[in-house]
Amino acid sequence: MIETTFEPGLLGQHCWLELASGERISLATDRWRSTPSPGDELLLRHCVGPTLDIGCGPGRLTAALTERGVIALGTDISPVAVRLTREAGAVAIRRDVFARQPGEGRWQHTLLADGNIGIGGNPVRLLARVRNLLHGSGSALVEIDPPGTGLRHGRVRVSTGTAPQGRWFDWAWLGADAVAATARRAGLTPKWIRSAGDRWFTELVAS
């Protein structure tokens, strides 16, 4: 398991993704530890059965589902994320999404929020993995980028503006306009694509 580099953000520090080109993409670290936003509520309303929160971070969504009586499990490669999720009153384990998961093939929903569609730098591979985690009638609820941004891949590192910087790793961004084609390659299809607040989301089901 490769150690994550998101811990500064998990602990509330402002940070961003730095691309090899020098571009910086700010991370919404304030949202990670806040109460659910309107966009979060859109995701939460669609979680009506057992839900696996992939890359759960500090656990705001896992905890919100737990409080609402929905069975939920957070999974993250960061021990800090797992600790924070448990402190929030939810259940979490330290596990890579591509490793064996509890309830494999029986989850009603999976969550990929806060840009976690970028995990591993290959959304097709990630969504294919998610499809295998779901029950046949289940769905993946995914936060995406706005229309017109397409599918992007790149090497990034987490930066806080202080040295030393984090390690480089592969990441990706999936825009609403590229969802259908990307999902299709993973055996999924969008049930809906919509915005809430200033964020975009989709629900994917088996083709």
Average pLDDT score over the chain: 94
10, β-bridge pairs: none
Q: Calculate mean pLDDT across residues 143-162.
A: 93
Share of the chain above pLDDT 90, in %: 86
| pLDDT at position 163 | 57
- Per DSSP, which regions of 1-150 are E strands? 16-19, 24-26, 51-54, 72-76, 92-94, 107-112, 134-144
Q: In residues, how long is the chain? A: 207
Tell me the per-residue pLDDT of 163-194, one tens digit each, with 9 for 90 and over.
557 789 999 999 999 999 999 999 999 999 99
Q: Residue 128 pLDDT > 60, yes or no?
A: yes
Given a cut of 70, whether residue 126 has pLDDT beyond it is yes
Q: What is the pLDDT of residues 1-13, one digit of tens each?
A: 445 578 889 998 8
What pTM did the predictor assign?
0.94
Q: Are 61 and 81 in contact (CB under 8 A)?
A: no
* pLDDT at 206 exceeding the cut of 60: yes
The pLDDT tens digits of the residues spanning 38-79 come to 999 999 999 999 999 999 999 999 999 999 999 999 999 999
Q: What pLDDT shows up at residue 4?
A: 54
pLDDT confidence tier of residue 132, bands split at 50, 70 and 90: very high
Give the pLDDT confidence score for residue 1 in this predicted structure. Answer: 47
* String of DSSP letters for 144-185: EBPTT--EEEEEEEEE-SSSSPPPPEEEEEEBGGGHHHHHHH
How far apart (Å, rounded) are the C-alpha atoms in residues 200 and 180? 14
63-78 as b/e: b if 16+ CB within 10 A: bbbbeeebebbbbbbb
Backbone angles phi, psi at 115, to 5 degrees: 85, 5
